[in-house]
Structure 1
Amino acid sequence: MSNHAACPAGAGQRPAGHADHLTRVELTWIAKRIEFWIRFGQSSDVRFLDRIRSLHSFRPGCVFALVRWAANDYGTMISRIDIVRTVSPGEPYQTLPFVRPGGDILLKLSGLPKVGCVLRAIKAIEALGIDPTEVSPDHWRHIHNRLTAGHEPRAYTQDQHRAHLKRLRVEP
């Protein structure tokens, strides 16, 4: 993790041009070769860099899921999913490829079976009528930990969601 508050002057600071405190995610799309996409999360701005690359900007506190998939002539080379909460200036963060400067990584998994399981969990949450960006961060960590340990994660429920929303209302 990086912690801007603990860094000496000039070290670990955002590069010039990032005074807006946005987190930027670079996506690439070359069909059937390299496919990076946002599964959920609302970007505040999208810039198309060229025909295959775009830059999505997220405000501090946003949650998004970044899916990265790449293949060659022999099949899938990488399959990853990361669920990230963007951070405010001064908050500690973890670095992640294609995400600048980084964020609070709630879930980080690779491999087709695990990524597929996470995508099914996201669909199940959406089927409950819940926006995945509003899900308790603890649930994303739970899914990460259970799948990493080789266990099936428990489903997110309406009761858990109501409890999470109530907790947000009483926290300072």
Structure 2
Amino acid sequence: MTSHTYAGHTLADIEAAAAQATPGPWIVNKTTKSPTVRSAAAANHYGKWVRVCTAKNPDGGLSDSPCDRSANNVDYIAVANPATVLAMAARIAELEHDAALNAAANRACRDLPNGWQVEITLERGAVTVALYKPWSQQVGFDSDNEALADKVSDAIETAIAESKQEGGVA
């Protein structure tokens, strides 16, 4: 399965960074001593609030630090906390898995030699992929892959190779 990147980072990179961050919950603290300062805080493992970012409003003297550009950064940081990022990463992984299976099914419909079939059988606790030549003769194929999409791709490659060996058109 291909590994996509998001702004130059893989899902594994993003998940690792989120897992190492202060877990939260994260909040926006608008009740600081200065009306021009807003900060984002996160509850650490000991239940203490830890400042994760401070922003000064433009009228209150902005610095050039990326974390101090605006109160909007603090609001964003509080929303994009580790729990949110990990939930998004899990959903992206799920969607990528579904997309890979869909792509494998489309490839089978497009690339399988005439008369060949890939059969997917699902039952509780198991999934199997079988390959059949024309006229229902089952063909064994090797696949060390665990991902269903990769098993389907292995079956397609076997069908194409065997069809060529037999003088068929792939």
TM-score, normalised relative to structure 1? 0.24
TM-score, normalised relative to structure 2? 0.24
More helix by share: 2
More RCO (CA 8 Å, sep 6+): 1
Q: Which has the larger radius of gyration?
A: 2
More strand by share: 1
